[in-house]
Amino acid sequence: MVNMKTITEYFLIYQFAYIFFFISLISIIFSIFIRSRILKLICLVIFSLFVAMGLTEFILSSKIKTKIFFLEHPKNIFILEKQTIRPAREIHVVKKNGQKRKYADRAPYADETVIYDYVANRYPNGFRYTRCNLKSKQNYIFLGCSYTFGAGLDDDQTLPYYFSKLMNFENNVLNCGISGRSTNTAISIVESDIVDKFVSNDSQTKYFIYYMIQEHVYRNFRVYESDIDNWLYKNGKWERVSQPFGRLKIVFARSYIFNKIFLNFIEKHNMPYYEEYMIKSLQRIKETAEIKYKSKLIVVLGKSCHQNPLFINEIKKTDLDLVFLPEAFDRIEYKIKKDGHPSAKANEELANILIGHIQNNESRQK
């Protein structure tokens, strides 16, 4: 019996090789029947070019470890029927060749070293549980990626947990960090009604806190991979966020030739657009927080953001409430070994910084 799934996956891996071979076949057939020498020569050139491209695609697809790219919108985090909390184990390993892998539950192979092995309690929509007072009249909502989520750490080692602990677990603290995402997901969260399902009707959301790293600038415009964020959730539907050469990136997403040669040129050309969008998206979150929730936004800029001084200079010109991490956060003890995500120590100290920042804000308003 033919396994259609296997055939489909095989074609997705080698699709551009076959497409190029097909175009070369068409061109050689045309060259046979065309009488004009010039047109015949053009067809032969096209034939040679696409045969070469097809062979290149086939060789690269065979030699390089291939994964199936995901071009659909991300998993729907905006549907929540019950707030049941379930534990989910996640194991990350690094192979001897430096390649990283993650899986749910299996013993590491001989050539793999475990980076971290932890269990995260999650709500059905993917949000991570944080010990707090869900019935509190005051809410604090954390947004961001795996840095906010607490990848590699137990439930009592995440940034939202330490933040909640400093307030004696008396307030409602919600961890909306989704691994691999950026401000598009954050926008979708604050503009949808998903937050309302975790807070009391008569409560007030005091602050939204967005934890940014430099990679977020680009993540908003990745059109493939499993953790994409090139979508906005509006009125119950997903809509792609447009970008320069966006259609080209989608069409050639699975082409190795495109990704290895042409994509870098496109991304360098688009980077100013991405950076401008990043700042505008943070301002959009701020405006939504103020209008919809009568709340405020704090943006934490991770140390990686300082790699781009031009971006830092531009974001400082805005009215965004910014928190810059101290130099100490670059030290080894502030990162998970062989991984780079914040350690429990980093999260605990950042929670103290945030509490102090909020207290300073409130004292200035009095």
Q: Tens place of pLDDT for every residue, the chain, 366 residues?
A: 446 556 666 666 677 888 888 888 999 898 888 888 898 899 899 989 988 888 888 887 766 555 556 666 667 788 888 889 999 898 888 887 777 788 877 778 888 888 888 999 999 999 999 999 999 999 999 999 999 999 999 999 999 999 999 999 999 999 999 999 999 999 999 999 999 999 998 999 999 999 999 999 999 999 876 657 899 998 888 899 999 999 988 888 888 888 888 899 999 999 999 999 999 999 999 999 999 999 999 999 998 998 899 999 999 999 999 999 998 899 999 999 888 899 999 999 999 999 999 999 988 876
Rounded CA-CA distance 59/63 in Å is: 6
Residue 108: its pLDDT value, please?
A: 80
Residue 302 near residue 146, CB atoms below 8 Å: no
For 333, the token pair is 């003890």
Q: Write out the E strands in the chain.
A: 86-95, 100-103, 112-122, 138-144, 172-175, 204-212, 231-234, 237-240, 296-301, 321-324
Rounded CA-CA distance 70/68 in Å is: 7
Residue 12: its pLDDT value, please?
A: 64
21: number of Cβ within 10 Å: 18
Identify the CATH assignment for 126-365 out of 3.30.750.24, 3.40.50.20, 3.40.50.300, 3.40.50.1110. Answer: 3.40.50.1110
The domain limits of the chain are 4-63, 86-122, 126-365
Question: Left if phi > 0, otherwise alpha if psi is -120 to 50, otherwise beta: which for 168?
Answer: left
| C-alpha to C-alpha distances, 112 to 33, 102, 131, nearest whole angstrom | 57, 11, 33
- Listed residue (284, 109, 131) closest to 210, CA to CA: 284
Would you report the helix, strand and coil content of the chain in percent, each value rounded to 5?
50, 20, 35
Helix/strand/coil for 291? helix
| C-alpha to C-alpha distances, 35 to 41, 46, 150, 181, nearest whole angstrom | 10, 17, 67, 56
Angle at 237 between CA 150 and CA 70, to 5 degrees: 60
The separation between CA 364 and the C-alpha centre of its own chain, rounded to angstroms, equals 35
The separation between CA 266 and the C-alpha centre of its own chain, rounded to angstroms, equals 19
The answer to pTM > 0.85 is: yes
Asked whether the CA dihedral 6, 10, 13, 18 is positive or negative, the reply is negative
